[in-house]
Amino acid sequence: LTSPWSRLLLGTLSFVIAAWVLSLVRRGKLYVGYGLPFLVLAAAGAGLALLPTHHPDFVGGVRAASGWLEAALVLAAFGIAAMFIYILSQLTIIAGRTARLAQELALRDAARVTRKAQNESSTPPRRVRAGQPAGRPRS
């Protein structure tokens, strides 16, 4: 990257993306498996921003671009990344709610089956069944 402004922008946006992703993962709003590729990309972006000006030849093409074009490309790339992070975050939130629902259903279903079994049997059950008030621990 040729322009110091492009480097600054790339470095800043990489840091912002990494901090945002880590915050979302910590709060359970982004699955860590979805977040890791963005963390790797952010690290790569930060590395590119800190790269010395003597680039190897394969980066020469990027150097040839003008400063404002680079900045625009960096902004566009991060805009797309942010959009993906937002979509994946919403997906994680929905998955979390579904999992919670599945957990509650499992416990309620167990209680229902147990009640049915209790009704069919004349002897009381020896053990506690999930979600069954009668099965509270004995002291």
Partner 1 sequence: LSLFATLIAIPAYNEEAVIARVASGIRDAIPEADVLVIDDGSEDATPLILQKEGIPFARQPCNLGYGRTIQTAVRCARQQGYGALITADGDGQHSPEDVRSLALASRDDPSDYLIGSRYLATRDYSTAPVDRRIGMQLFSWLTGWVGPTRVYDTTSGLKVIRATVFDALLRWHFVDFHAEAIVYLASLGYTIGEHSVGSHPRRRGVSMYTPLASISYPVKTLTMTALAVAHARLEKRRNAR
- Catalog residues that contact partner 1 under the rule CB under 8 A: 22, 25-26, 28, 31-33, 35-36, 39, 96, 99, 102-103, 105-107, 109-110, 113-114, 117, 127-132, 135-139
Q: Is the CB of 55 or the CB of 129 nearer to partner 1?
A: 129
Residues 92 and 30: beta-carbon distance below 8 Å = yes
Contacts of range 110-119, beta carbons closer than 8 Å, 24 or more positions apart: none
Q: How far apart are CA 40 and CA 124, in angstroms?
A: 58
Please classify residue 32 by burial: count the beta carbons closer than 10 Å to its beta carbon, then call 0-12 exposed, 13-18 middle and 19+ buried. Answer: middle
Q: Measured from the CB of residue 47, what is the shortest distance to partner 1 in angstroms? A: 18
Q: Is the CB of 89 or the CB of 132 nearer to partner 1?
A: 132
Q: What is the dihedral of CA 12, 75, 44, 85, to 10 degrees?
A: 100
Q: Measured from the CB of residue 125, what is the shortest distance to partner 1 in angstroms? A: 8
Q: How far apart are CA 113 and CA 34, in angstroms?
A: 37
Q: Is the CB of 4 or the CB of 28 nearer to partner 1?
A: 28
Q: Is the CB of 40 or the CB of 69 nearer to partner 1?
A: 40
Q: Is the CB of 83 or the CB of 117 nearer to partner 1?
A: 117
Q: Measured from the CB of residue 69, what is the shortest distance to partner 1 in angstroms? A: 35
Q: Measured from the CB of residue 65, what is the shortest distance to partner 1 in angstroms? A: 34
Cα 87–Cα 92–Cα 97 angle in degrees, nearest 5: 130
Q: Measured from the CB of residue 27, what is the shortest distance to partner 1 in angstroms? A: 8
